Amino acid sequence: MAAVAIHQFAQCITCHAWSPDQSMVAFCPNNHEVHIYKLFGEKWERVHVLQKHDQIVSGIDWSVRSNKIVTVSHDRNSYVWNQEASEWVPTLVILRLNRAALCVQWSPKENKFAVGSGAKTVCICYYEKENNWWVSKLIRKKHNSSVTSVAWHPNNILLATTSTDGKCRVFSTFIKGVDSRESGASSSSNLKFGEQIAQLDLSFTWAFGVRWSPSGNTLAYAGHNSMIYFIEDVGSSPSAQNVALRDLPLRDILFVSEKLVIGVGFDCNPMVFTADETGLWSFVKFLDEKKIAPSSSKYGSQFSEAFGKLYGQSKPAINSDTVESSRPRGGAHENCISCIVPLRKPGDTIVRRFSTSGLDGKVVIWELDNSI
């Protein structure tokens, strides 16, 4: 399996999202706009430009059923865009932040969305029909630093967050009038808004990319120390697994199924992780098969030239022919992959296709075949 399509849209992309029918992609080309491109046959053409933010748009999410786009930006604002005829009409959401918004995600029922910010807070926004506007409720406590990513549990109430203080936390976002108290919900005693269910202190470095498994049983997030953490049974008795990566850290992850996770990050190559029958997670392989240069450098990375110089200093007689000059990596992405989004077909329980976008301005679509 590998990349089925590679599109160079811009010089650099911060985040992207797909329309419900996957015919259009919305992304931010590292400025204050959101560009929407549509595929006409073989060519991508820009159909809309959403211009409302004053600074970089750091998060975009496109809801599947209600076809709404939510964007958040470093300008501390968020807009919900509704499609009316051929135009996208923005509605300002007052988040009440005094720092940048960093990430956003629609809840599974699409009646709420969560925004992580540099103000050490998480905003949970819901729609108030009576006043026809989006209200923001803040979770002010607990975080000691910026909230880098948010993830909704399938039950639409629990929210996991990761922060640059190294911790991953799970909160309840129960809102009276929006969420219904379901009988038999295991966390019914913790349904107060903003209540912290769990705090995971596994990483001593910045944490990114938290995601729940499709059933909500497993939680995974990446640490900036080249580790990925898998936690089972967060609510009752959390058991964690630390998987150390050989190479550079991850920025975002995706649960393809209960036992299969794809991680993307600074290696510019998606990494596959699986859990075996006993539930033990491990790294399987890189997705992108790269061309190996005939004179392969010992370190096999873009740092080979730098390493050659570093080690060459201690041995003055070393031949400079052994130093490999830095070359393009030969994979789909040429720079850090910062965002991974699933491309679900309606009715599919596991994800077969997903897309990645990165700092090289490319959006790459990947397809998994049955060998995984």
Binding site for other proteins (CB under 8 A): 204-206, 223-227, 244-249, 298-299, 301, 303, 307, 310-311, 313-314
- Min separation Cβ 314 and other proteins, Å: 5
Give CA angle at 151 (344, 170), nearest 5°: 145
Q: Which is nearer to other proteins, 205 or 241 (CB)?
A: 205
Q: Which is nearer to other proteins, 218 or 226 (CB)?
A: 226
- Min separation Cβ 12 and other proteins, Å: 23
Q: Which is nearer to other proteins, 246 or 345 (CB)?
A: 246
Q: Which is nearer to other proteins, 193 or 307 (CB)?
A: 307
Q: Which is nearer to other proteins, 298 or 327 (CB)?
A: 298
SS3 per residue for the chain: CEEEEEEECCCCCCCEEECCCCCEEEECCCCCEEEEEEEECCEEEEEEEEECCCCCEEEEEECCCCCEEEEEECCCCEEEEEEECCEEEEEEECCCCCCCEEEEEECCCCCEEEEEECCCCEEEEEEECCCCEEEEEEECCCCCCCEEEEEECCCCCEEEEEECCCCEEEEECCCECCECCCCCCCCHHHCCCCCEEEEECCCCCCEEEEEECCCCCEEEEEECCCEEEEEECCCCCCEEEEEECCCCCEEEEEEEECCEEEEEECCCCCEEEEECCCCCEEEEEECCCCCCCCCCCCCCCCCHHHHHHHHHCCCCCCCHHHCCCCCCCCCCCCCCEEEEEEECCCCCCCCCEEEEEECCCEEEEEECCCCC
Q: Which is nearer to other proteins, 111 or 205 (CB)?
A: 205
AA identity, residue 16 = H
Cα separation, 230 vs 102, whole angstroms? 23
Q: Which is nearer to other proteins, 6 or 306 (CB)?
A: 306
Strand, coil or helix: 280: coil
- Min separation Cβ 118 and other proteins, Å: 20
Q: Which is nearer to other proteins, 78 or 226 (CB)?
A: 226
- Min separation Cβ 3 and other proteins, Å: 23
- Min separation Cβ 248 and other proteins, Å: 6
- Min separation Cβ 204 and other proteins, Å: 4
- Min separation Cβ 296 and other proteins, Å: 13
- Min separation Cβ 246 and other proteins, Å: 3
